[in-house]
Structure 1
């Protein structure tokens, strides 16, 4: 069994509040727009992070993470990208990936809008964890936690990290 933290759109920001939550997780899945700062460097080097680069990410992140990431956690197939759309409105490239790879979970970011929904047409759990960073129009910083045991996905939880304007101190 693994406990997973799913984040996106950190835009250079990683604070002690996020760190305390991630410390109790086995893996971090980051759906892009990491940004690059000492705080993001801390995240990448201190945790097991599966990720994809986003539209604001520079060469350091793009060298480390792909545009589309396909991997398994236990017996659960994951497909992740930064910009991909939503059920019935997937980008063409992503729709083809979903149809061919047949993931159990599809994760994207970019919109800064938290959304968890089951796509019954493709039999996939769609997760956009919202934005964990402080840049953007979102009002509340969010992340998603879940557990995976074999091919079972359970204990999915939305974590509100506080209002975007009430920022805690960055790590370091």
Structure 2
């Protein structure tokens, strides 16, 4: 029996959670926010849609944000996701650590790359792209043995 789940992935909201982002996440089973959230209300609003894991980004310096981890693991059986804001700050080898995916943000540019069997996924910025990239989020479709990543331009 194939189990299907959809993980919504976003980053770099910087205090803005547009209606089109909320609408695009309505079908997800889980949400991962890869930092630079900007406003605690965004955490509340996303958690109303689906279970949420969020990490702190480099601009998340307010007192509410210090409760968020800089990096974390998310397991959605059988997949293990390593989540951090800035991929340049990763301090482990995802392959050796048994990760299936590394989720990051920071660059405001989407990236969807497989390297050595590990998915490196950056959804881009949900609020404002950079270097010509429009705002975007991501979804990762999970089946029993497969991850299918998708970048969604807003």
The TM-score with structure 2 as length reference comes to 0.86
Matched, 1:47 2:62: no
Q: 1:69 aligns with which of 72, 80, 88?
A: 72
Instruction: Report if the CA contact (8 A) 1:9-1:112 is conserved.
Output: yes
Instruction: Report if the CA contact (8 A) 1:13-1:40 is conserved.
Output: no
What RMSD in Å do the two structures reach over aligned CA positions?
2.0
- Could you tell me which runs of 5 or more consecutive residues in structure 1 were left unpaired when the two chains were aligned: 86-90, 162-172
Matched, 1:124 2:118: yes
Q: Hey, what's the Cα distance between the residues in 2 that align with 1:81 and 1:138?
A: 24
Q: Hey, what's the Cα distance between the residues in 1 that align with 2:52 and 2:32?
A: 6
1:38 is displaced (CA, Å) by: 3.7
Matched, 1:151 2:145: yes
Q: 1:134 aligns with which of 128, 136, 148?
A: 128
1:139 is displaced (CA, Å) by: 4.0
1:66 is displaced (CA, Å) by: 0.9
SS in 2 for 1:132: coil
SS in 2 for 1:62: helix
Residue 108 (structure 1) aligns with: 104
Worse-superposed segment, 108-117 or 39-48: 39-48
1:3 is displaced (CA, Å) by: 0.6
After superposition, the Cα gap between the structure-2 partners of 1:115 and 1:135, relative to the gap in structure 1 and judged at 3 Å, is closer
Q: 2:29 aligns with which of 26, 31, 43?
A: 26
Worse-superposed segment, 70-79 or 95-104: 95-104
Q: Deviations over 1:12-52 (max 9, x none)?
A: 11121111111111111111001115445322444311121
1:102 is displaced (CA, Å) by: 2.0
Number of aligned residues: 150
